[in-house]
Amino acid sequence: MNRVRRALAALALLAATACAGGPSLENRGEVTAPPGDSRELTVGSAGFTESDLLAQLYALLLEHAGYSTDLISVTNREIYEPALENGQIDVVPEYAATFADWLGAKAHGADAKPVGSPDLTTTMKALRELAAPRGLTVLDPGRAVDQNAFAVTAAYAKKHGLRTLSDVGAAKLPVRLAAGDECVQRPYCAPGLRSTYGIDVVAVDPKGVGTTQAKQAVQSGQDQMVLTTTTDATLDQFGLVLLEDDKKLQNADYVVPVVNRARAGSAGVRDALGRLNTVLTTADLASMNEQVDSWRRLPEDVARAYLEAKKLLPKG
């Protein structure tokens, strides 16, 4: 596998996609053409730790199945999604509900009604309907999900008998929430905690989503709850525990591979990447994130070790 991220190729990709934005939907023969099976594939990453890890996992599995792979990092979805449509990128890890809403806004305008939902089946149906006209195929999700989540200190949870967000609402506890500025208005955040769970959110402390400052504010008792994600690998370091979203306030952001149908829509690609669905869990992703972010291991090394441990790759 070529592990070198080619700067010139990346620059050419950025320039081409920024200008073109992809061919028109009406002229895409690949939408109805048989799925392609190019043996040389480019796997894209969105440039953050988890996306890098998933891209490495995909590339390793594809290479084991006989494909040649290059990796490229493009941090802006506005750029890498058209590149995926154009076949400049062949495979990319995505998140079902978020990507469905993004494609919906792209197709119908920024004010389009969100189509992602807490129900995975409904979300996947909407996502595939939006992706297909763009020459994209959304492969099956596995068990791993990276959703917004809420955490409190373990001591606070034990003191008040908290395991779920419903428990917080039932306890009638006033809660200062460490989160991003947008939490005040976003339905999955403060408004949703109030309406879905009856939680008394008395203030939003704008310290960001899952930042060190936000976690420290909860650890110190300045705030009682922090908005983070289900694959946050650093909660233990701050004495924090996640509370179960038992009424499913958050959308179904399961990890899904999205491929260019004309180049990577074959059964070979689907079967190679589908092997990951048999093993990868949310906890696995959190553990791998920790190895990269806290232990300073390389994503490729972490991904390879994981696949070897799960017997999806022979030990090298």
CATH code of 186's domain: 3.40.190.120
- Average pLDDT in the chain: 91
- Quick one: 128 and 15 in the same domain? yes
Provide the number of structural domains found in the chain.
2
- Quick one: 100 and 21 in the same domain? yes
Local confidence band at 22 (pLDDT 50, 70, 90 cut-offs): very low
Supply the range of the domain harboring residue 40.
Answer: 7-144+252-309
Looking at 243, 268, 295, which one is the last position of a domain? Answer: 243
- Quick one: 136 and 20 in the same domain? yes
Inform me whether the pLDDT recorded for 2 exceeds 50.
no
- Quick one: 119 and 177 in the same domain? no
- Quick one: 113 and 71 in the same domain? yes
- Quick one: 99 and 118 in the same domain? yes
Is residue 172 included in any domain, yes or no? yes
Angle of the 49-64 helix axis to the 299-309 helix axis, nearest 10: 50
Average pLDDT over residues 216-228: 98
Angle of the 120-131 helix axis to the 96-108 helix axis, nearest 10: 40
pLDDT at 10: 53
Q: What are the helix and strand counts (H, E) for the chain?
A: 13, 10
Is residue 314 included in any domain, yes or no? no
**Range 148-176 burial, b when 16+ CB lie within 10 A, else e:** bbbbbbeebbeeeebeebbbbbeeebebb
Average pLDDT over residues 26-32: 46
Percent with pLDDT over 90 in the chain: 83
Is residue 315 included in any domain, yes or no? no
CATH code of the domain containing 48: 3.40.190.10
Strand-pair category, 40-45 with 68-73? parallel
Looking at 225, 243, 261, which one is the last position of a domain? Answer: 243
Angle of the 77-86 helix axis to the 96-108 helix axis, nearest 10: 80
Is residue 207 included in any domain, yes or no? yes
- Quick one: 112 and 158 in the same domain? no
Local confidence band at 153 (pLDDT 50, 70, 90 cut-offs): very high
Is residue 316 included in any domain, yes or no? no
Give the whole-angstrom CA distance, residue 292 versus residue 297.
5
- Quick one: 31 and 96 in the same domain? yes
- Quick one: 264 and 292 in the same domain? yes
- Whether 43 and 15 have beta carbons less than 8 Å apart is answered as no
Q: Among 183, 181, 180, 207, which Cα is nearest to 193's? A: 183
pLDDT in tens, 59-83: 999 999 999 999 999 988 999 999 9
Percent with pLDDT over 70 in the chain: 90
- Quick one: 18 and 132 in the same domain? yes
For the chain, report the end-to-end CA distance as a whole number of angstroms.
14
Looking at 243, 262, 290, which one is the last position of a domain? Answer: 243
Inform me whether the pLDDT recorded for 25 exceeds 90.
no
- Quick one: 156 and 209 in the same domain? yes
Is residue 1 included in any domain, yes or no? no
The pTM score is 0.86
Is residue 273 included in any domain, yes or no? yes
- Quick one: 52 and 95 in the same domain? yes
